[in-house]
Chain A
Amino acid sequence: MTEINLNTSTVRSLNEALQGAASGGKFSISNTGGKHAVSVGLTTAINVGINGHVGYYCAGMNQQASIAINGNAGPGLAENMMSGKVHVTGNASQYAGATAHGGLLVIEGDASSRCGISMKGVDIVVGGNIGHMSAFMAQSGCLVVCGDAGDALGDSIYEARLYVRGQVASLGTDCIEKEMRAEHKEQLEELLKQSEMGHNVDEFRRYGSARKLYNFDIDQVDAY
């Protein structure tokens, strides 16, 4: 276990150490104090434990690494993650998991607005609630919300799957409730298991694209 204290080490040297580490390495980071861009751009299967709250863009562009944050995360958590796992014990601010292509993002608390905006294959599991405009233009992957969802959920969504246990304040354009078939229950069961959320899949509803925005509709020609 390598310990890095951000009171004495810079974020740049921390990221250089993490980016150069061989798979299997273990790191523990302390005194984060809300600093930006902690543990970004990792490309190997290392384990990183972060003790404390982090600022903007923590765990961005992550590949393969498993990053656990014991605290809250600021805006842009795990933005554009490609693979690996990012786990936050507290809350995450705006646009967590934005544009992420793969991997698993688990937020035990709440995520605020624009969670999973333009997600492209990541799986996101939120233990609490999510804010407005979440999963906007979401293309692929799953967003699981164990609490409630804010306004305009899944606006202009493509093929991502949204599973919500609580109330949805409102659905965005072209986002509709869909049937929970066996394959969806199986997928959700697996995601809840991986994220250690002890909920019953039958408590969730599924939302997705009505696919009405996919193609130009000749009946709308007068609108242009």
Chain B
Amino acid sequence: MCGIVGLFIKNPALESQLGALIAPMLSEMTERGPDSAGIAIYRDPHTNGCKISVLAQHSNFDWNALEVAIKTVFSLKKIAVVHNQAVLFVNSSADEVQDWLDNNYSELSITSSGTNIEVFKGVGDPLDFIEKFDIKSMSGTHALGHTRMATESAITTEHSHPFSTGQDLCLVHNGSLSNHNRLRETLRRRGVKFTTDNDTEVAAGYLSWRLSEGDDLEQALNHAIDDLDGFYTFAIGTKDGFAVMRDPVGCKPAIMAETDDWAAMASEYRAIATLPGAENARIWEPEPTQIYSWKRS
């Protein structure tokens, strides 16, 4: 079991409260996922280059040395370090920076890349995660969150959601996939890189691969229905919004709600109930295999 939440701000006046609004949604899902938590937040666009979120395996990682090293190769606008994670604002293409990090800093995991997305995750109580990363103070346009109860692979920060699926894209998942081992090998042969044995990382890798083959997000998700075996409610963060899809059997819960101010999804209504105006929101349950998406017009 896991908990998923997503919040898309429709009224720009609420963007400054994005973190304050999604933090209670995430903490309400603690019982569904007490092992670890994570968030993808879309904010502070760096349009002249890229933002790369990185995760250090050790808390004593030398971020100053990284900063010095990056500056010898790239024009670094800033580096925002929070505990063992950081967001690098670099005035170069994401591919160049990722290749350089892969070659020079293999002890860092890249958790997201793009112009808007930032990803933070951690093991332990989601409430501690919210405090540690000061989620409540974050502003932005939209965010996805995940609380994890591990069922198929280890409890580590790397195994926590969200998983990056490409530029400004990420995936959070409630459920379990049964064909992830074979699919991981197939995708590896096609050049997709994996860092863990986690099933959701395979789904993320699958979507990345489909998108790199020219699919749009909707086409990639429709292919996923054929190629992924298992149970899933997916929420996929995009640069402009997010999308939600449940597997054909639809046994993993999901609920969606919308008001003039926001659109939200969650594993359970009680997460949405924390939002202002939730009691009068339009509320519905997403149908299996239907793709629901919001984006900025």
Which residues in A have some Cβ–Cβ distance to B below 8 Å?
Answer: 33-36, 52-53, 55-56, 72, 74-75, 90-91, 93-94, 112-113, 131-132
Q: Judge whether B268 is part of the interface by a CB distance below 8 angstroms.
A: yes
Given contacts A91-B285, A93-B285, contact A113 B270 (CB under 8 A): no
Q: Smallest distance from the beta carbon of B275 to chain A beta carbons, Å?
A: 11
Contact of A33 among B251, B273, B284, B287 (CB under 8 A): B273
Which residues 101-116 of B sit at the A interface, judged by CB distance below 8 A? none
Q: Within 8 Å CB of A36, what residues of B?
A: 270
B269 lies within 8 A of A34 (CB): yes
B250 contacts A74, C-beta separation under 8 Å = no
The answer to whether B285 touches A132, judged by C-beta atoms less than 8 angstroms apart, is no
A interface footprint on B243-283 (CB within 8 Å = 1, 0 otherwise): 00000001101010000000000001111111000010001
* Docked-complex contact A34 and B250, CB < 8 angstroms: no
* Nearest-neighbor residue (CB-CB) of A72 within chain B: B283
The 8 closest A-B pairs by CB, nearest first: A34-B270, A34-B269, A33-B273, A34-B273, A53-B269, A112-B285, A55-B270, A113-B250
Q: Are B270 and A132 in contact (CB under 8 A)?
A: no
Q: Across the interface, which residues of A come within 8 angstroms of B285, CB to CB?
A: 91, 93, 112
B287 CB, nearest partner CB in chain A, Å: 8
B288, A113: Cβ atoms under 8 Å? Answer: yes
| Contact A131 B250, beta carbon cutoff 8 Å | yes
Inter-chain contacts of B269 with A (CB < 8 A): 34, 53, 55, 72, 74
Cα distance, A53 to B284, chains bound together (Å): 12
Q: Note all chain A residues with C-beta closer than 8 A to B288.
A: 113, 132
Q: How far is the CA of A34 from the CA of B273 in the complex (A)?
A: 7
Distance, CA A93 to CA B233, complexed state (A): 15
Residues of B within 8 A of A52 (CB): 279
Given A74-B255, A91-B285, A94-B253, 13 more pairs with CB closer than 8 A? A34-B268, A34-B270, A34-B271, A52-B279, A55-B270, A56-B268, A72-B283, A74-B253, A74-B268, A90-B283, A91-B283, A91-B284, A132-B250
Q: Report the minimal beta-carbon distance from A48 to chain B, rounded to whole angstroms.
A: 19
Residues B250 and A33 in contact, CB atoms below 8 Å apart: no
CB distance from A149 to the nearest CB of B (A): 14
Q: What's the Cα separation between A196 and B272 when bound, in Å?
A: 31
